[in-house]
Amino acid sequence: MYATTPGAGAPSFRLSARDRHVWALFADWCAATNQPPTPATPHQLARFLHDNPASPATQRRRVSVINTSHRRLGHPAPGSSDEIRRALGTARAARLERLSTRVAPRITQVPVTGWPAGLFGRRDALILVLAATGVGFEQIARLRRRDITLTGDNAASLRLTVIGDRIVLPSSLESPEIEVATIYRRWTEVLGFLDRNHGATRPLADHFKAGGDLSGFDAAYQPDDRPLLTSINRWGHTPLIPAPLTARAITAITQAHLSGRPPAHTIPQRRARSASAPTASAIESDHSLDPHYYERGIEARRDAHQGLSDVTDLLDDIEDRADQLLAELLGILDDVT
């Protein structure tokens, strides 16, 4: 047995030469990344293993040494299965809470009346609720009518079930202003109305223009294999053969509402035809524009729009990568006691 080399973060107990080398490697990495070696977090340990690749046996040995050192110093072992699972759950819960806190105020601003704004609003409100509960955009796009149900006896105890998994609503969605049951029922009323009228949207438009009362039509809603969330064109028409929204479309809808600038969804005004076309008068100017002026401007705006639209996805990718690192660490620890 040999004592560890004195230094920052060096444990006061004795380690073997082999274990001392592992601890020195970890301590050096912590110093290089400006982090204390004790107490280390599961995220910190996962990053260490990622930055120092080795065989599974070597990685398990490293985790064992770091765990033992922490326990002897009275700290929780960052590489224990319980700690990693707790970190995974905490990270996901924190991310979900941040998302739901941003989404909740937007849900109350979505219109549910008027044509066609109320039709879009009823669908988009359900999308925002699903996003706030942590359902991924890809999964939302794949949802069928039969995949989502509500269980409970009253509005206060209602809980969402998506593909058999019970989803506990974040605290930000359990407010009097946001009733998930009502949001879900409003969309099923739309689908039930379309089912009863063979997909005709003109009668649906008349109902929305008359106040948007579709009470009772949810009884005609059939929880079958058809898409839950369908596309809607600018005039408020849904496809005769139900077509599901894509994950890209759901992402764009969510981002538009979170930005506070969702589309107004107003029907374009028809232009009246005049008896004779007005005579265009020539405009004289001493200034000449670059012939590629408009093309460059459109291209610049397109690039800016694409760049900004990727910000949310990039942040999500970073958090997903952190969760993946912890999951990989958990896999390494399957054989570690």
Q: What does the domain layout of the chain look like in residue ranges?
A: 2-79, 111-258
- List CB contacts of 308: < 8 A, sequence separation 6 or more: none
Position 196 confidence tier, pLDDT thresholds 50, 70, 90: very high
How far, in Å, are 80, 89, 199, 323 from residue 326 at the CA level?
Answer: 11, 11, 47, 5
95-104, 199-208, 258-267: which is most confident: 199-208
Does residue 155 register a pLDDT over 70? no
Fold assignment, 2-79? DNA polymerase; domain 1 (1.10.150)
How far, in Å, are 37, 197, 279 from residue 225 at the CA level?
Answer: 53, 19, 57
> What mean pLDDT, rounded, does the chain reach?
78
- Higher-confidence residue of 126 and 180: namely 126
pLDDT digits (tens, 9 = 90+) for 17-30: 788 888 889 889 99
Alpha-carbon span 102 to 187, nearest angstrom: 22
Return the closest-CA partner of residue 127 out of 118, 136, 114. 136
How far, in Å, are 144, 171, 294 from residue 247 at the CA level?
Answer: 14, 26, 32
pLDDT digits (tens, 9 = 90+) for 280-309: 555 555 556 566 666 777 777 666 555 555
